[in-house]
Amino acid sequence: MAAEESAIRDFTNRVNDAAKLISEYALKDGFIHVVSHLDCDGLAAAGIIGKALWKLNARFRIRIQQWVDEEIVSDIVSDKPALTVLTDLGSGYLDILGKHLTDHKIVILDHHQPVGEATPDIFEVNPHLYEIDGSKDISGAGVAYFVAKALDDANKCLSCLAIVGALGDMQDKYEKRSLGGLNGKIVQDAIEAGCLKVEKDLMFFGRETRPIHKALARTTSPFLPGISGEEDKSWAFLKGLEIPVKIGDRWRALRDLSEEEKRRLCSALSDQLVSKGYAGNVLSLIGTVYVLVSEEPWTCLRDAREFSVLLNSTGRLEKAGLGVSICMGDRGEALELAGEVLAEYRRSITKYLSWLMEEPDRIEELESIYVIHGGDFINEKIIGTLSSILSTTLSRSNMKPVIAYATVGEEDVVKVSARTSGVLTSKGLDLGEVMREAAEEFDGNGGGHNIAAGAQVPSKDITSFIKLVDGMVKNWMEKIAVGS
């Protein structure tokens, strides 16, 4: 415990120093260039820093990127900022940054495993440097939040965005799908700031916005046999329980059900799970729900998990600016547009999943991994989402990591997205390390978290890259088998 406390103290000192540095540049009226990651966590981090800089009257610009490469670095250089702040990325690219951004002050607020050494011009804030687990205890938005709070205590109201970021990165790994570690402290801040209510409730996706029978049918985690994926059966199930799906001409969402109706629904679902042999799923029916009480009811911003999917969709469908502006407080038309982007994102996911199922060789099972061959059909910005979805379904029985890839636009590069389960990471598998090592063999770039990682490699090398990764995972599995 003492070690943990001292790690948090050291991390907090580092956060305070980063805040001091940023405010010095802002006060000197230096131009600040913010670069953030394209996913939900990155957009939330950009929104937090953007809002904090705006309150400081700083001059700044925000750019959203999927990764850092030489071209992006030269863009930064040509902008001649006084300070560059990278959020939710940077630690994986210390070498490129150090090599090309000489005489250039950089602050990194990240939670990815650091690769390489930071040069003296790079001020890196990263939980891993203090042995705090950046894959589940704090996200990129969380690191940005602590810095924003150190800049001004009134920025506590940005804590909700950090919660959205952490949920987007699937950090709800504590009991009953709750956030813990430093994320737990952010949850406390949000409750104190009056913008968050934490509840234990049925874990249906779309509790604020979707008609209850649709929410039930769309829920796959936990899997509800005879209901998941079957809207008409879900409707009949609710009818059998005398829970009306509509009142007047208004659909009812889960939030509209009375406590008594929820209890009835929960106990009927438990019976259904037990009778179909899924007793193990009963406990996952109820989980931790994060309600952003400052947001309007019945909007997709009210449930922090729905908010995170909305943000993800804007980033992945080239509308990152819209996501950031929602994080910075834009509503009205921006929210309407984002709703359309979300619908399009869902359609793309469905289209890609059916395409993958059409031909047997598009999802391949190798000795130690599954490979998803997205080729040039799947959008490389959505390959990560598909990899996450498929890893929960494919590896349910044999727990092989999933390695998905897709070609990057017209370039001769493929984007690789790797995912594994908590069971394998708890035994020591680190996909971030695997991606980094394997990509280096082909002059690519790889890294990330133990559970979710990625890489960019030359297209011509993808077959050899996959073979190498399969071999590396196999070696690791054999070592584990010997050790156990």
Q: Which residues of this chain interact with ligand C5P, rule CB under 6 A?
A: 37, 39, 41-42, 67, 88-89, 92, 112, 140, 169-170, 384, 387-388, 417, 419, 445-449, 451-456
C-alpha to C-alpha distance for 215 and 200, rounded to whole angstroms: 17
Return the one option of Zn ion, ligand C5P, none that residue 448 interacts with (CB less than 5 to 8 A, by type): ligand C5P
Window 125 to 164, contacts with Zn ion (CB under 5 A): 139-140
C-alpha to C-alpha distance for 73 and 403, rounded to whole angstroms: 28
Residue type for position 137 = D
- For Zn ion, the closer CB: 110 or 433: 110
Helix (H, G, I), strand (E, B) or coil at 303: strand
315 scored as a contact of Zn ion (CB under 5 A): no
We find the least distance from the C-beta atom of residue 214 to ligand C5P, in angstroms, to be 23
- Identify whether the C-beta of residue 19 lies closer than 8 Å to the C-beta of residue 151: yes
- For ligand C5P, the closer CB: 81 or 134: 134
Among the residue ranges 36-44, 99-107, 209-217, 306-314, the one whose residues contact Zn ion (CB under 5 A): 36-44
88 scored as a contact of Zn ion (CB under 5 A): yes
- For ligand C5P, the closer CB: 42 or 211: 42
Return the one option of Zn ion, ligand C5P, none that residue 18 interacts with (CB less than 5 to 8 A, by type): none
Helix (H, G, I), strand (E, B) or coil at 415: strand
C-alpha to C-alpha distance for 61 and 415, rounded to whole angstroms: 27
- For ligand C5P, the closer CB: 194 or 409: 409
Give the total of residues touching Zn ion (CB under 5 A): 5
- In the set 137, 169, 172, 208, which binds Zn ion (CB under 5 A)? 169
Return the one option of Zn ion, ligand C5P, none that residue 453 interacts with (CB less than 5 to 8 A, by type): ligand C5P
Q: What is the rounded end-to-end Cα distance, in angstroms, of the chain? A: 29
Rounded alpha-carbon distances, angstroms, from residue 448 to 209, 432, 438, 445:
33, 4, 13, 10
| CB atoms inside a 10 Å sphere around CB 10 | 14
Give the pairing type, strands 83-87 and 31-37.
parallel
C-alpha to C-alpha distance for 368 and 60, rounded to whole angstroms: 46
We find the least distance from the C-beta atom of residue 136 to ligand C5P, in angstroms, to be 8
Alpha carbon 277 to chain centroid distance?
32
- For ligand C5P, the closer CB: 184 or 244: 184
Name the site residues for Zn ion (rule: CB under 5 A).
41, 88, 139-140, 169
